[in-house]
Structures are given as C-alpha cells and as structure tokens.
Amino acid sequence: MTLAPEKKTKKPRKLSMKARYEALTRGLDWEPSYVTKEEMFPHLEYEGIKIHDWAAWEDPFRLTIDAYTKYQAEKDRRLYAVLDGFAQGQGHLNLTDAGYLNAMKLFLQGVTPLEYAAHRNFAYLARHFAGPGPRFAALCQSIDEIRHMQTEVHTLSNYNKYYSGLHNWPENHDRMWYLSVPKSFFDDALSCGPFEFLIAIGFSFEYLLTNLLFVPFMSGASFNGDLPTMTFGFSAQSDESRHMTLGLEAIKFLLEQDEDNVPIVQAWLDKWFWRAYRVTALVSQMLDYMLPRKVMSWKESFELYFEEQMLKGLFEDLAFYGITPPRHVADAVQEKDVLSHQVYWILYQFSFAAGFTTTMPTPEHQQWLSQAYPDTFDTHFKPLWDKEARNIASGGRHFTRGLPQLCQVCQIPMAFTEPGDPTTLCQRESEFEGEIYHTCSNGCQWIFEREPEKYRQAWLPVHQIYQGNCGGPSVPEVLEWYHLQDGDAGEYLGSRDHTNWLTWQGEAAAETASHENKAGA
C-alpha cells in the first residue's frame, strides 16, 4: 500500500503560547452527567467557601509536562553529581564542627516528614478541586514535595553513615516529644478540607513563613561548610518559588471568588500564622544556638523575612481585599527578643531524650548573643548560663528529669513568657466539656477555643508517657521505645560525634602534614 500524496494544506496558524497552553491543559474537564458534580467533588461545600468560576484561576507558570520533566531532570542531575562527589571526597570533614549537624538532625526529623506530608495532601487537592488549573498546580507541587523529601534524605544520607541522630528519622517524627510540634502542625492541616489546607500550607506555610523556616537552615549550611545541603537548598529554590506563587494565587483566587470567603480566609490566616509561627520556634533556637558559625540572629531573621517582607509587603497588598495582618502578630513581634533563648533552654535541659545533642554556649557565643539581643540576653538569659557554668564546674551538667506540661495546641513545653514581660510565665486555661486545657499563649488559646473538639484529640507526648503508651511510664522505658542509639542524645561535648570529630580532624591534620612533607621532599 502506498502513502497518500501530501495534500495542499493551508499553512497552520500557530497558536500563541498562552492559547497553546490552555488547549493542552484547560479543555480537559467536563460536566459529568452519569454522576453528579457533588459526587465527583464531595469535599468542596462543607468549609463554606464559595467558588463560582474555577476557570478564573490563573496558572502563573504555564508549565507543560515535557518542559517540567526536562527542567527537573537537569536540576537533579546536577544535585546528585554534587552529592556523589561529596561522599567520595569525605566532604563531611570540612564542616565547621560536628555540632553543626544538630541543626540537620532537627531538619531531617522535623522538616523532611513535612515535605512528605505535603506531597500526600497536595495529591488530595489534585483529586478534590473542581478546576483543572489548581488541580494541575497541586499535582506538580505534590511530586515536587516527593523530590524535597527524597533529596533531603539523600543529602543527609552520607552524614548518617558517620554521625548520630539521623538514622531513625521517620520513627522519631512519629514518637518523640519535640517532634510532635511539627507533626501536630501538619496533621492539623491534613485533617482540614481542601480550601483550609490550601491556605494553611499553600499560603501560610509556603508563602508567609517559608523564608523564615528554610532560609536559616540553608544559610546555616553555607556558613558551616555543608555543601550538599546548600546545593539542595539552591536546587529546591525554583520549586519553592513556584509554590510561593501558587500560595499567593490561591489566596487571591479565594478572596476574589466571593465576598463571603473573606472572613473565612481571615480566620484561617489568623490561625495558621500562629500555628506555623510556633513551629518556627524550633528554627529560632537552631539559628541562635546550634550553628557553630552564626549567620544572623533569629531577631534579624524575623525582622527581615517576616516584618519587612510579609507585614510590610504582602499585607499592604491584601488590605485591598479587606484582609488584615494576622491576629496575635504583635505577640510574635514582641517575642522575637526572647523566643530562641527560651526554646533552647528547654531543649538543653531535655536533650537526654532527643535525637540531637546540646551544649552550653561558649563565652564567645554568649558574647555574640548579648550583642544580638542587647535588651534581653544579659538581663534574663546570661544568668541561667552563669549558673549552669557553675553546675558544670562542680560536675553536674543540668538535665531535667521531670516531664514538662505541653501546650494543648502547639505542643511546646509551657515555658514562654507574657508578651513584653520576660519574667512572668504565660499560661492560659480553657474549659471544654468539663475539662481544663492549657495553652502557652494568646495565639494558641484562641486557636483552641475556636475548635476545642479538634485540639482535645491531640496526641500529647507527655500525657501519653504518663499513661504508659510510650514503652512504659519511666524515662528509661521511654528512651528505649524511642530506639535511641548511643550518641544520639544528651550533651554534645564528649559525645560520640564530638569524640569522632576530634579524632578524624587529628588524623586529617596528620595526613595533611605528611602530604606537605612529601611535597617538600
């Protein structure tokens, strides 16, 4: 059989880039007629959000699958080349100090699982939104978040071979007391409907607080010789800028669809700002206490990434829609002078039951802290460390053996102080169906009282320990149940990582010397 001759066809009119993208992506939806629309998208009504026109969603990126896969494959090729080179060259010996890895332990145990959870629930949005535009954006983000989870694991995999605390991160995340802070935060979002999740994670987490959360870790890496994490951070940046744009598009879309959406979105913003901000409490202490070589203080970071970029920039734009800055934002601003110190003091005392180690800040470190926090460090926190220095001198590094009371909402031990008064402990109580619930702040109390039937469900680690649900009621039983290995927890000085580090650095120095001798000979 022969091929038909080429027919004379009119020269095709090329579609514009935009029209072509729409043709490839938008026309795919249809009105179902064998099932109802409510059966197909059953989760869209109950949160009270009204969407009149899903097609009004603007895709900011107009990525087609061929372009996406090509770009992402190229980024991964470069990232994994760096990871391979690092592993082959024993790059971990170029860190500023093994103590730096405490920041990465916290990251792998506390943040990486959130990437994973984001992957799963963006898939939920990709299933349950009734518009192809936001569905596809959500699906892209869903698989981006697998990428983040995996590239983080692969980045830290080499450190795991030589250092403690990284080896059991998924179970840590499910079980350990301080990790219930990020876990309960994300579980809170996972248990929401699709629109609240979009505001909680897509907007509040990925836009409002993303720089405050991620940039400190990534800059910490670059200041402390952690080339793989820094490379990972750069590599994730273009994904994150897509996610930020999605978050911003999401909130504008909801606000523009119906005026009735405005108060609902405002309440979600109020809630999720405080919820996510409380998770960054862990970041604050990392920045001020865990990094051997400092990047900037939490206070500076908060001022730059939150006050400047978000309060000034973003909320001025959102005012157009009738949106005001989050409730309780003033408390967060006031707290910037004390937050990191209070959180690290908790972790310092309880690190015998953690997947990282802590140590007393050196005199030089304390000097930096007092310069970074002229109004608070010397008056309120230096005395604690002076006392601890005396404890250590007499052979008694301080660990608290009792169990702290946790905030019912954020699950951080109740050790925060009243806004503007660093000497008075802040404790809030609420009653619900005859029971008293404790919260750490005005923000957490407000969140609790808005949805008490939700927060009463919280799996509070300390309560669970008392009830014997964590291997048994005693501390050794709990530690056993955590599957901690020798070197994972406790004091950094003299720990397994510290001792190994000194040995390896000694060997490295000897080796360099012998190379120099050979070169000289």
The contact set with Fe ion (CB under 5 A) reads 115, 145, 148, 243
Of the pair 32, 473, the CB lying nearest another protein is at 32
The answer for residues whose C-beta is within 8 angstroms of residue 383's C-beta and 6 or more apart is none
Is residue 407 a contact residue for Zn ion (CB under 5 A)? Answer: yes
Among 264, 347, 410, 426, binds Zn ion (CB under 5 A): 410
Considering only residues 81 to 120 of the shown chain, the ones binding another protein according to CB under 8 A are 89-91, 93-94, 113, 116-117, 119-120
Shortest distance, CB of residue 290 to another protein, whole angstroms?
20
Is residue 157 a contact residue for another protein (CB under 8 A)? Answer: yes
Among 102, 109, 141, 160, binds another protein (CB under 8 A): 160
Among 49, 98, 104, 126, binds another protein (CB under 8 A): 126
**252, 306 Cβ separation under 8 angstroms:** no
At 7, list the tokens: 């027919």
Residue 96 binds which one of another protein, Fe ion, Zn ion, none, with CB within 5 to 8 A depending on kind?
none
- Stretch of 65-73, 328-336, 361-369, 391-399 lying at the interface with another protein (CB under 8 A): 65-73
- Stretch of 51-59, 252-260, 295-303, 405-413 lying at the interface with Zn ion (CB under 5 A): 405-413
Shortest distance, CB of residue 230 to Fe ion, whole angstroms?
16
β-strands 490-491, 357-358: how paired?
parallel
Shortest distance, CB of residue 151 to another protein, whole angstroms?
8
- Stretch of 23-31, 146-154, 403-411, 429-437 lying at the interface with Zn ion (CB under 5 A): 403-411
Considering only residues 229 to 258 of the shown chain, the ones binding another protein according to CB under 8 A are 230
Considering only residues 426 to 445 of the shown chain, the ones binding Zn ion according to CB under 5 A are 440, 444
What 134-143 contacts at long range (C-beta under 8 Å, 24+ apart), as own/partner pairs, is: 134/54, 134/57, 134/250, 134/253, 136/25, 136/59, 137/59, 137/61, 137/246, 137/249, 138/246, 140/63, 140/68, 140/242, 141/202, 141/242, 141/243, 141/246, 142/118, 143/119
Q: How far apart are CA 371 and CA 288, in angstroms?
A: 12
Residue 410 binds which one of another protein, Zn ion, Fe ion, none, with CB within 5 to 8 A depending on kind?
Zn ion
At 141, list the tokens: 């983000």
Q: Is 363 exposed, middle or buried (0-12, 13-18, 19+ CB in 10 A)?
A: exposed
Q: What is the DSSP string of 174-202?
A: HH-GGGHHHHHHHHHHHTS-HHHHIIIII
Shortest distance, CB of residue 491 to another protein, whole angstroms?
19
The CA–CA distances, whole Å, from 285 to 165, 279, 298, 469 equal 18, 11, 8, 29
Shortest distance, CB of residue 206 to another protein, whole angstroms?
18
